[in-house]
Each structure stands twice: as structure tokens, then as C-alpha cells.
Structure 1
Amino acid sequence: MVMRARAMGLSSIRREVLVSAVFTALLVASILLLPSLLLTGAGPIRWPSLSPSKDAGIGEEEEQQARYPVTFAYLISASTGDASRAARLLAALYHPGNSYLLHLDREAPAEEHRRLAELVSGRGVYARAGNVWIVGRPNLVTYRGPTMLTTTLHAVAVLLRLRRRWDWFINLSASDYPLVTQDDLMEAFAGLPRDLNFIQHTSHLGWKIKKRARPVILDTALYEDGRAELIRPVNISTNLRRLPTAFKLFTGSPIQAETIAVGNGKAKHARIRPPILSRAMTTLSRAGSAWTMLSRAFAEYVTMGWDDNLPRTLLLYHANIVSSPEFYFQTVACNSRRFRNATVNHDLHFIRWDTPPKQHPLYLTARDYRRMLLSGAAFARKFRDGDPVLDRIDRDILRRRDPAAHFAYGGWCSEAGDQNGGAALCSNPQEPGRRGAVKPGAGSRRLKAMLRKTLSPRNFRRQQCR
């Protein structure tokens, strides 16, 4: 009996030791693996994309893009009825060195989502380059609401996770259109510091204090399925909040305008208040801009914010502000010690406004074509679907003889002359001898001239975060 008891005791001790050893091993393993699990997540997100048949690792992706001077990541946002426009804009912007993410509002019918996928998948070049993606689980977006802002931040996070090299993030809507080729854009930005952010901004809120900054709103798309609108509580007269004191609000300029008077082939620039603008002038009013060009470093900052908690704090504040996309990036950049000195007071857009500015900009037509060129801007908005001026931009600026079949002119997609009957060689983006080639044109010279003026010592610091 004593021997049996001793045996049972030893067996029990061994089991306890074994259990303790196993538990300790599991604990150590979990501690070692936890950082890896936190960094990698449950696995890569399977976004619907047009990928090459062979998945490229990060080394291959970098090698494919390394020869281009700079590259860009685009978000193209579209809503109901915009599938064709988004596909046309994508083709006008396309370059194999860039990355493209398309977001069609969840409110759009399923048939339109299928239509967009068909239009994109119909271009074999996209699949061969593997640099075009469509958001498979789109967001419900409220115009002027925080869901428009969170959709942009979502896109930034996706483009960062795709493991492709890019230097700047650009967000556009389906009603935008480029005024330069991508080779022009690459050439113009190749010599600039990579930490510059192009965000139209001012701290002089003007009428926006009463209409935008102080009213508290709710975006129904945050908490209701299938309903996207901004609402205000019943007590609208008292539903106002004071301006913040922990940080300073910035937005697009509510009163200043840049005018271009066209005459005798010369352009004259002036900055005056909209109410006294002549009708003969084109008003490029800075009435607020949600369209920006963000450096990769700033994109990482607003997405992850490891330097400090400012991006998340301001995101929560802007959840209840009218037109938060016109405030958020401006306020983050100008309140950040790291990025305030790298913020350029320009959004690279040509936009026409009424005098005084109204809620929406004016539609651009053929009458604005010369003014668009004189502005030196990289993009313009907003255009009606199928407006003839888009065909002229395709033909004269982007050199796309047939928008339905051709891409913009560039080193990777230039005419072959007599070798191929004058057809553009755009079918193979990785063709030896073309990959990495850049062929800028007149658009690059116009854009460079505008950037030199904007970044001159006289203008850059004087208009920065004030």
C-alpha cells in the first residue's frame, strides 16, 4: 500500500511537472508569436483585383517599379451612375508604375458594380501589370459626411498594405480629369522632396464658422444600413459647439480666390475677394477642397499615427462636423509638428466657382479649355459625363486618339510609327526597353512652372498653415 501510494504520488508529481512544462512552453511561444500576429493579422485581405497570373512578392513589385522616378497611388471615388466615368478616368490616368483603387458607393445598384468590374476587366493591360483594384466591400458614403472621409482613409490603408512602392497618394472623383499625362506628372515631381503634401488650407474660416465648424451633425451611414444622409438634432438653434482650443481648425479658403484674366495671350494672377470679381474673370475660388495629394509618410501617419494620437483625436472630432473632408487633412497637417512645414497651400486642381461661391463648383466646358491650360494645374473638376471638352483633352493633351482603346502618351505607351501602322504599343507594360522610360511633354513644363511659383520662397512659407 505504501509503495502504491508513493507510486501514485510520483505519477501525480510527474503529471503536474508535465502540465507545468507544457503550459510554460505555450506561454513562451505565445509571447514570441504575439508581435507577429499583431503585425500580420489573420492574413492578407483578398481585394477583388486584376492580378498577374503569378503573384509577385515585394521584391518583384519593387523591381518592376524601381526604374520610374516617382510613382503615385490613386483613389477614384464613384457613386451611382458613375461606372463609365470612373472607367474612363482610370484609362486617362493609367500608368503601369502607379497603383489604382476604385471605390463605387455601396448605394449603387448591383448591376452597376458588375458593369464597373466588366469595364475594368476588359482591359488586358491592367491584368498584366497587376496594379488595379476594385474595393469588393464598398462603403456607404454620405456626401460631405465623415463616411466620405473614412472611405478615403480606408483606401489609404489598403494601398499601403498592397506592398507596392508609391510616393504620393491622390484622391479623385469620377467627375475629375487629368490635364497632364502621367509621364508629365512623374517628370514634374521627380525633383521635389518626397515629404511634401499638397493640401489647400487656411485658418480663416469665415462663413464656415457658422455653417460648417460649429453645427453638430450625424451621418446616418455610420449606424443605419442603406441610408446615407446628414441630419441635425431637433434643437438646431442650440445645437452648436464652441471652436476647439486644444488645436486649430484649418479648411480650404472661404474668401480668397485666384483669378486668371485671359487677354493678348497673357495670364495675370491676382488674389481678391470674390464679391468684387469681374464677370470676365475666371474664379478659382478656394471655397474648400476635399481633394489632396499626400506624401506616403503623411499617409502612414494619418492611418497609423504612431508619432502621437493627433490623427485619431481629430478623426473623432470631425465625425460630427459638416463637410469633414474639407477640414480633416488640413487640420491634421497644420497641427502636426512633423508635417506643418511640409504642407503646400495648393491642391493641384483647376476648379471654377460662382461669385460668391456656392455649394458646388461650376461645370467646366470647352470655354474653359484655355484657362485650364494657363492654370498649370494637374487636374480639373468638375465635368459633365461625356462633355466634348473631355474629348479635346484626350486628343490634344493626353494624345489619346481613341479613348475607348488607347491610353495617354508616355514612355511605356508611345507610337511605333511605321513599324506598327502608327498604333500605340500599350499592350505589354513590361516590354523590355519601355519599362522605366518617361517621355514628358508640354504638360510637364506647365506644371513645373506652377510648382516653381507655388514653392518659391516668397509664396511657400508665407501661405503655409496660416
Structure 2
Amino acid sequence: MGIKVFIFTFMISSLFFSLLFIPTLLTRPTNSTKFYQIKSTNNISQSLNTYPVKFAYLISASKGDLNKLKRALISLYHPNNYYLLHMDQSASKTEHQSLAKFVSSDPVFTQVGNVWVVGKPNSVTYRGPTMLATTLHAMAMLIRSCDWDWFINLSASDYPLVTQDDLIHAFSDLPRDLNFVQHSGHLGWKLSKRGKPIIVDPGLYSVNKSEIWWVIKQRALPTAFKLYTGSAWTILSRSFAEYCIWGYDNLPRTLLLYYTNFVSSPEGYFQTLICNSEGYKNTTVNHDFHYITWDVPPKQHPRSLGLRDYRRMVLSNAPFARKFKQNDLVLAKVDHELLRRRKGKFTYGGWCSKSKDKDGTCSRLSDDLGVLKPGPGSRRLKVLLTKILSERNFRRRQCR
């Protein structure tokens, strides 16, 4: 029985590896992957090169998330960054078409050409490795397509608490090799509930979406590497992202095969990989840059945030928060007080501060493209960075 289970799980893992890495290595973002981009003009490209750092975003969504995804994109948008939008297979054809039309019809997106849509979406199963596969796929496409300093993965239920000018300004003086990965080597109950069970995600091989299923026989804990766990939301350096994709010493591939049959692999893969890598374990900052609250005792999902959480969100100094219900009143408060964003318009930034909009809204490019105008959010974020990068916190909280 044990041999049969091993052979079966190995075959599933091998299939997962080939589906993820071979297309990633052999294809570019062309019509074969339906990876759509509108090219920016030379003048715009030259102006964008004056910004100190660039971010590449993956924003993921599922069925029913279209409006949340649109709002998240507009609130996070900055011509300096890159945005890859992925709406998984569970969404209807109408939702996919509406998203593509939304991006292609916006004049700013058209001028700059930095918002991309995955036209051939992946199937994503909650708690399965398909979410991890989607993240790695996005990283591979963004690495091949553009230059950036940090990769940020978010969902449509996330929302920023600072402007992108604030984020760019706060990160401008940081070493480019830092990786913001919330992690812990003390798994506690997760050792038996996550480390030992073997699961199979039908999303790897089936067109129809279904829940993961569990193999009866469990496996021993690994001895070739130490398991770590943490938040699925990370900010990864380009160097580490390239290491994840290319796997210079084979550790990324080894762990990918292991985590194919692991429950909630997005909460462990990057943590275990970076903390077992000699070249990157000292680059970790133990924070996910999110404000998240949980019920007591904690449930499967974090608690939805509302107006009563606003003050604590701001005081956390975090640049992002989750999760939010669609059009919750607290989002309007964040727009007005933190982002200087009006309904249907972009978040305020130097890139649009001198546009011809008479009402002072941010909806088009201005002559100040390339100029940063950070505000209070930058100061709050720098307070957080100073704290977590202090000698007391930075080295002592790394991969133990």
C-alpha cells in the first residue's frame, strides 16, 4: 500500500512540475499564453526611468470578484509599476471579457502599457498548490517581460493604506535584496496537521474545479530540510524571484515537488525555500506588510475589516490590509483620508498632480511624470521599516 501511494503521489508531483516549469521556461508572454500588453511610448518610458524603484504586482481574483479587482487595481495603480491581473477559471466568460475591456479601454493604461491580463487563466483550488503555481507563473512572466525591484502578490480582497508614491519613496533607500516574508520555524500543531498529511489537488489535472482530497496514509516529516510556515502574502526581491524560477541549486524544484501534496502550500513554500537557502536566508524581513485580524479562536479565514478597524489599521503603519467586503464603508474612508482618491479615479500621485482635471482628481498623466509626491503614508511606512529593520528585530527574527 505504501509503495502504491508513493508512486501515485510522485506521478502527480511530476505532472505538476512539468505543467508549471516547462511552459514557463519555453514560452514568452505572446499569444500562446494570451498575455496582453499595450506598449508605452518612448517619451513615457524615459520619464518612468527616473523613479528610484519599481514594483511588479500580481492581483488575483475569482468568481464574483470583478468589481473588487477593478477597485483594487485603480487604488494601487501607478505608471511606474507593473500589474498582472489573474482571474481564475471559475469566473465566467463574461467576467473575463469585462476585465479585458476595462483594461484596454482606459486611456492611462493604454498610454503607459503597464497593466496586463492573463487571458488563459489557471484553475485555482483553495488550500491546494494551484495558487502557488499561479504565483510562480506570474513571477516567471514578469521576469521575462519587464524590469522591476520587488514582486508583490495581492488578492482582490486586499486594499492599500498608502499611496504608491509613499511606497516607492519609503523603499527607495532599502537594499534591493531584502525579502519581506513573514515566517516561523515553530509550526506547533501544523507539524501534524500540515506536514504529515498528503493531499491531491484535482485542479492540477481536471478542467472541473473541485476540493482537494486526502490520501489515507501520512508521511514522515522531512529531514533534508526544515519546514517553515507563515503568511501567503509576500514582497520578494527580483533576485529571489529569479532563484525561485530558475532554481540554480535545485532546492526550489525539490521543495516545489514536496509542496505539491502539502495543505496550504502558499503558506509554506516561500518560507521554507528562503530559510533553507544559504544565499537568501539572511535577506528575510519577518513581516508581510499587511494588517490582518482574526477571530478568537481563529477561523479558517481572517475577519472582514470595517469602520471599527480603521484606527488600528492606520496605527499599524502597514501599507496593505485585508480582507474587505465589496464596497464596505471603510474603503471610502481609506480613499478619502489616506489615498486622496475620489470615486472612479486613481490614487493621488505626483504623476497626475498637474493634470488638467479641474476638480483635482487623478485620472490622467501630467507633465510631472517621474515626480514623486509622498505624503503621511510614507512617514508611517518608514516608522514601520525602521522598527522591523532595527538590529534588535532584523537579525534576531531571521529563519530560526
For 1:100, the aligned partner's letter is Y
Contact 2:28 2:144 in 1 (8 A): no
Contact 1:340 1:465 in 2 (8 A): yes
- Once the two structures are overlaid, the 10-residue window that deviates more, 354-363 or 328-337, is 354-363
Determine helix, strand or coil for the equivalent of 1:217: strand
Q: Which residue is equivalent to 2:235?
A: 293
Q: Which residue is equivalent to 2:149?
A: 167
Distance 1:39 1:361 in 2: 32
Q: Which residue is equivalent to 1:314?
A: 255
Establish whether residue 421 from structure 1 lines up as the match of residue 355 from structure 2.
no
Contact 1:147 1:222 in 2 (8 A): yes
Distance 2:183 2:227 in 1: 10
Establish whether residue 232 from structure 1 lines up as the match of residue 214 from structure 2.
yes
Q: Which residue is equivalent to 1:216?
A: 198
Q: Which residue is equivalent to 1:241?
A: 219
Q: Which residue is equivalent to 1:201?
A: 183
Deviations 1:419-446 (A, max 9, x none): 7533335423xx44x1210000001111
Mapping for residues 46-65 of structure 1, pairs under 5 Å:
46=31, 47-52=34-39, 63-65=46-48
Contact 2:29 2:35 in 1 (8 A): no
Q: Which residue is equivalent to 2:349?
A: 410
Q: Which residue is equivalent to 2:30?
A: 45
Q: Which residue is equivalent to 1:103?
A: 86
Distance 1:229 1:107 in 2: 13
Distance 1:354 1:167 in 2: 35
Q: Which residue is equivalent to 1:438?
A: 372
Determine helix, strand or coil for the equivalent of 1:409: coil
Deviations 1:74-124 (A, max 9, x none): 000000000111011000000001000000011211111112122223321
| Residue 121 to residue 188, structure 1, CA distance change in 2 (3 Å) | same
Give 1:227 shift: 2.3
| Residue 117 to residue 44, structure 1, CA distance change in 2 (3 Å) | closer
For 2:184, the aligned partner's letter is T
Contact 1:349 1:379 in 2 (8 A): yes
Q: Which residue is equivalent to 1:285?
A: none
For 1:124, the aligned partner's letter is P
In structure 1, runs of 5+ residues without a counterpart are: 1-37, 253-288
Distance 1:183 1:127 in 2: 21
1:66 pairs with 45, 49, 55, which one? 49
Q: Which residue is equivalent to 1:141?
A: 124
| Residue 219 to residue 424, structure 1, CA distance change in 2 (3 Å) | same
Distance 1:39 1:134 in 2: 16
Give 1:43 shift: 6.1
Contact 1:400 1:409 in 2 (8 A): yes
Aligned residues: 376
Deviations 1:168-219 (A, max 9, x none): 0000000000000000000110010000000000010011112211100000
Give 1:415 shift: 5.6
Determine helix, strand or coil for the equivalent of 1:376: coil
TM-score by length of 2: 0.90
2:113 pairs with 130, 136, 139, which one? 130
Contact 1:398 1:409 in 2 (8 A): yes
1:86 pairs with 66, 69, 92, which one? 69
Determine helix, strand or coil for the equivalent of 1:438: coil
Distance 1:414 1:395 in 2: 16
Identity percentage of aligned residues: 58
For 1:248, the aligned partner's letter is K
Deviations 1:283-334 (A, max 9, x none): xxxxxx111000000010001112x100000000000000000000000110
Distance 1:420 1:80 in 2: 35
Q: Which residue is equivalent to 2:309?
A: 368
Distance 1:158 1:68 in 2: 22
| Residue 91 to residue 142, structure 1, CA distance change in 2 (3 Å) | same
Contact 1:84 1:119 in 2 (8 A): no
Give 1:61 shift: 8.4
1:448 pairs with 377, 382, 387, which one? 382
Contact 2:185 2:229 in 1 (8 A): yes
TM-score by length of 1: 0.77
For 1:120, the aligned partner's letter is V
Contact 2:201 2:213 in 1 (8 A): yes
Q: Which residue is equivalent to 2:14?
A: none
For 1:152, the aligned partner's letter is T
In structure 2, runs of 5+ residues without a counterpart are: 1-22
Q: Which residue is equivalent to 2:399?
A: 465
Contact 2:200 2:261 in 1 (8 A): yes
Determine helix, strand or coil for the equivalent of 1:77: strand
Contact 2:59 2:156 in 1 (8 A): yes
Distance 1:52 1:240 in 2: 50
Q: Which residue is equivalent to 1:176?
A: 158
Structure 1 residue ranges, 4+ long, deviating more than 6 angstroms after superposition: none
Give 1:372 shift: 0.2
Distance 1:426 1:356 in 2: 44
For 2:226, the aligned partner's letter is K
| Residue 43 to residue 196, structure 1, CA distance change in 2 (3 Å) | closer
Distance 1:182 1:213 in 2: 38
